[in-house]
Structure 1
Amino acid sequence: MNLLLRILKFGLTGLLGMAIDFGATWLFKEKIKINKYVANAIGFTLAVTNNYFINRIWTFQSKNPHLGTEFSKFLFVSLVGLALNTYIIYLFHQRKNGTNFYIAKFFAIAIVFVWNFLANWLFTFR
Structure 2
Amino acid sequence: MGFKLKEFLKAQLSAFLGGMTDLAIYSFCYKVLSFSAPFSNAIAGSLGAIVNFLINRYWSFGNTSTSIGTQLWKFVIVVIGSISLKSAGLYFFVNMLGWHFLVSKLLVEVIVSLGFNFTLQKFWVFKK
Aligned letter for 1:105?
K
Distance 1:85 1:35 in 2: 13
Percent identity among equivalent residues? Answer: 26
Aligned letter for 2:101?
F
With structure 2 as the length reference, what TM-score do the two structures score? 0.90
1:3 is matched with 4
With structure 1 as the length reference, what TM-score do the two structures score? 0.91
2:77 is matched with 76
1:26 is matched with 27
Aligned letter for 1:66?
S
**Is residue 2:46 matched to residue 1:45?**
yes
Aligned letter for 1:104?
S
How well do the aligned residues superpose, as a CA RMSD in angstroms? 1.5
Distance 2:88 2:33 in 1: 23
Q: 1:10 touches 1:59 (CA, 8 Å); kept in 2?
A: yes
Unaligned runs of 5+ in 1: none
Distance 2:76 2:13 in 1: 19
Unaligned runs of 5+ in 2: none
Q: 1:125 to 1:65 in 2, by over 3 A?
A: closer
Map 1:99-114 to 2 at 5 A. Answer: 99-114=99-114
Runs of 4+ in structure 1 over 4 Å off: none
